[in-house]
Each structure stands twice: as structure tokens, then as C-alpha cells.
Amino acid sequence: MTAAYTHVPPPNPLSQADIDQEVAEVHAAAADARAAGAPAVHHPPRDFAPYRSSRLRHPKRPLVAVTDPEAVELHGPVFGTTDITPLDSDLTAQHPGEPLGERITVSGRLLDRNGRPVRGQLVELWQANASGRYAHLRDQHPAPLDPNFTGVGRCLTDDEGRYHFTTIKPGAYPWRNHTNAWRPAHIHFSLFGTAFTQRLVTQMYFPNDPLFAYDPVLSSVTDERARQRLVAAYDHELSRPEWSLGYRWDIVLDGPSATWIEEGR
């Protein structure tokens, strides 16, 4: 669970103005580097200072090369098509009662750098409930839990690379990064390739959220176009009459239009 309520340091005396200043300095340095001809950077720094807990959690030692192929296979994904049921992708139907909140449909395509569909890949998501609380023992945010919403789902992409979920729009929540710090509503996505080592994790946001300007996690993506690609688009064709509103969000795995990945966090 990324940036959950109790996974960060205790309340920090830094104000929003202090965080804004740090973000501005990092963005200015990144712009200067691009102007000087530095190669494009598609992922944020692992120790982005305004995202204060990243300094405690980011890897500080070199990667360990795994040379035993059998050992790698022991830790690879074991999910197959027979393991995934329709309930896995409909988070509103996993419990006997109706979950609270606004029902939404989230769909999109998993694509490679050339726009080709990536078929048969495992897509997992997890999220807070409508009140901004995760169904997790370590989340002690004093917001109500929903006994009919766990906030976890998965599916396999189809032949067009498409994934599809029905869920509840998550709420914002405080995360103690600095004074009065709130995370915008978001959904975490995990993407698997053919082995565990190919797992990628990212986040999807909702359009026009007023908290975007105050969020160091989103601000850690210093390229404005890359930040925009993390925001889903409302799609009326995906909305289901009298049931749910639709959001479309494509995920690009690599290349110049790659979706930002939480590297090393």
C-alpha cells in the first residue's frame, strides 16, 4: 500500500508553503537539465525530497542480480485464467451488501511503446474506500470502514489489451507528509509481465481534483505531460445507465509516452 496513513513519518512541522518551495526547486532543476540537453526522464527520483517518506524507503544499495533461473521461477506470478473470476474485477459485488459511495467503471488498454496491445497480462488494483480509508490493519485514519468494500481487484487483459473494473470512487485521505497533507483520490495499479521481476506499480487519478497542486507524490513527476497521463478521462460511453460513471485510462509500458511507474518505492 503506497503512502498509506501510517506508512509515513509522524506529523512534520513543514508547511504547505515549504513543500511548494521544495517542489518548485526540483522542477526548476529538472527543466534546466532538459534545456541543457539531458535525456528525458520518465520516472521521478527515488528520493524526491518533498515526498518525505521516500527518503526512508528508497533503495540505497545496488540491485542484486539473480543468477539461478529456478529461484526466479519460484517467485513468479502463479495466476492463471482459471484462478480469476468475474467477481475479481467487480469490487462492488464481492460482499453480500452494497458498498457505500459512487460506483464507477474504470477501463483502458495496456499498450507497448508502439501502441500495440499487451494481451493476457495480470492487472491488479487496490484503493481506499469512499471515505478515504484502506481495509488494512495498519491504516488507522479515523474514517469509517465499509464492511461491503475491500478495495482489491484483478483481471487479465483481453486480446485488445483491455482491462475493465467496476468499483467505488475512492476518497481523499490525510497522510502526514507535512502540515495538512491530503492525497488526491487515486487508484493503485499493479501490472505483471511474464515474471515477478517485471512487475510495475503506478497510480491513476481523477480529473479536476483540487488537491493535485498540493500533492508531492504527483509532483514528483517533473514532466507536466507525464503527470497529465496519470489522470483518467471521463468517458460517457463507459458510464452505465443508472449504475456507474465511466473513466478511461490507458497504460503505456515503455517509450516516450510511458506511464509513470513507482520505481523503487
Catalogue the active-site residues: 134, 173, 183, 186, 188
Sign of CA dihedral 116, 117, 122, 128: positive
Q: What letter represents residue 133's amino acid?
A: R
Are 144 and 131 within 8 A, CB to CB? yes
Instruction: Please name which of 177, 164, 171, 168 lies closest in space to residue 218, comparing C-alpha atoms.
Output: 177
Phi and psi at 232, nearest 5°, equal -70, 160
Please report the DSSP string for 133-163 in residue order: --SSTT---SS---TT---EEEEE--TT-EE
Are 238 and 248 within 8 A, CB to CB? yes
List strand residue ranges (DSSP E) for the chain, in order.
103-111, 122-126, 152-156, 162-168, 173-174, 182-183, 186-191, 200-205, 233-234, 245-248, 251-252
